[in-house]
Amino acid sequence: MSGGVDSSVTAALLKDEGHEVIGISMQVWDYSRFTARDGEKFDTCCSLDDIYDARRVAESLGIPFYVVNFEEEFQRLVIDDFVDEYFSGRTPNPCVRCNQRIKFELLLKKARELSADFLATGHYARIVRDESGYYRLLKGKDQGKDQSYFLFTLTQGQLAHTLFPLGEMTKQEVRRLAAHYRLRVAEKGESQEICFVPDNDYVRFLEEARGEGRLSGDIVDSTGAVLGRHSGTYRYTVGQRKGLGLAHSHPLYVLGVDAEKREVVVGAGDELYREGLTARNVNWITLPAASPIEAACKIRYRHRPVPCRISPLPDMRAEVRFLEREKSVTPGQAVVFYDGDTVLGGGWIEEAVRSEE
């Protein structure tokens, strides 16, 4: 329970259905760090106020409520990875990482340890069991809220003990239910992007973690000509247009980031298009594809699935070819494979494939 509307309604629904429900919040951050520093106050998805809200909701539902401490694990498995990725020239997705390593690994283990049969979360996604006994992961019914992209790492073992009670609902229905159950969080807003970067200033966060001035270098065009200087490759992500500080005859976009050479490569908008990508640490929800398959893929959360051809490669890798060239393939982001509403699997984008080289 995060203290938000979705997980609160999830708990209320399950309780209403007669399940024995235990509420758990994860403490993933030392909140005293914030309150101690200049009395700054942050409003984030995992702030102390939210744990307080979650506790109050649990009290009103009459369910036991506990807070588990995953501070150390969150730092090691999510935050350190987040920083490492940026300093390696990639644009990470910590929410997928948190689902993979914290929620559906550590928290699920904790839930099982407490003899719970299932871990239920407020994600907008569905789990169904097919004729052959496999658990399938489907998009949430609310297409606008669908969160299946963040769940592509789930394994059969995890899916078997996971419930997404909101998967069949729209956000509007969930809000109505929150009001129906008289949950004090019914009016609460949506949580923000990255919970541990409360002010959304991720550059400041990275520089506080590793210091300023590292990875500064040249801004170059695709021929290698130097156009200017930048003060850290981690400040840039593929497709970015603002913050380059260059005067040029036409708008310039970031085409790529090379942390090793400390280069930020820029070019015109039409240079952003790529034929495909390679992915690593690919997870297939049911059986791995043995040969190339036609499917659709999303290369970032806010992206409509586009048709593609996926070729499995050794060592849990895959190559994805778009039927039509796609803009802003961003290393470090997740690529998630879909067949209609079904999530086939996904992986982490290694690099863009440029052409029929």
20 or 130: CB nearest other proteins: 20
List the one residue out of 77, 88, 90, 87 whose CA is nearest residue 348. 90
Give the bridge partners for 226, in sequence order.
220
Least distance in angstroms from the C-beta of 112 to other proteins? 6
Of the candidates 95, 98, 297, 308, the residue annotated as catalytic is 98
Asked if 66 is part of the footprint of other proteins (rule: CB under 8 A), the reply reads: yes
Establish whether 45 is a catalytic residue: no
Among residues 41, 76, 109, 229, which is the contact residue for other proteins, using CB under 8 A?
A: 109
Site string for other proteins, 10-49 (x = CB under 8 A): ------------x--x-x--xxx---------------x-
67 near other proteins (CB under 8 A): yes
Residue placing its CB nearer to other proteins in the complex, 113 or 270: 113
Distance separating alpha carbons of residues 176 and 72, to the nearest angstrom: 37
Report if residue 287 touches other proteins, rule: CB under 8 A. no
Give the residue, chosen from 43, 64, 193, 204, that forms a contact with other proteins under the rule CB under 8 A.
64
Residue with tokens 């494979």: 337
Structural contact between residues 317 and 280, judged by C-beta atoms closer than 8 angstroms: yes
Strand ranges in the chain using DSSP code E only, listed in sequence order:
23-27, 65-69, 119-120, 125-129, 135-139, 162-163, 217-221, 226-230, 253-258, 263-267, 273-284, 293-298, 306-313, 317-327, 334-339, 342-353
Nearer to other proteins, 34 or 134 (CB): 34
Minimum distance, C-beta of residue 25 to other proteins, in the bound complex (Å):
7
Q: How far is the CB of 64 from other proteins (least distance, A)?
A: 7
Annotated catalytic residue 297: no
Angle between helical axes of 80-87 and 202-210 (0-180°, round to 10):
100
Total of residues contacting other proteins (CB under 8 A): 21
111 or 125: CB nearest other proteins:
111
Closest approach of other proteins to the CB of residue 27, in Å: 4
Write the DSSP string, 114-159.
Answer: TT-S-EE---SEEEEE-TTS-EEEEE-SSTTT--GGGGTT--HHHH
Structure tokens at 92: 């990470």
Q: From 108-116, 139-147, 172-180, 270-278, give the range in contact with other proteins by CB under 8 A.
A: 108-116
Does the protein bind other proteins through residue 160 (CB under 8 A)?
Answer: no
Q: What's at 195, amino acid-wise?
A: C
**Which residues in the 112-141 window bind other proteins by CB under 8 A?**
112-115
Distance CA 137, CA 133 (A): 13
- Which residues are marked as active site? 98, 195
User: Which residues bind to other proteins, rule: CB under 8 A?
Assistant: 22, 25, 27, 30-32, 48, 51, 55, 64, 66-69, 71, 109-110, 112-115
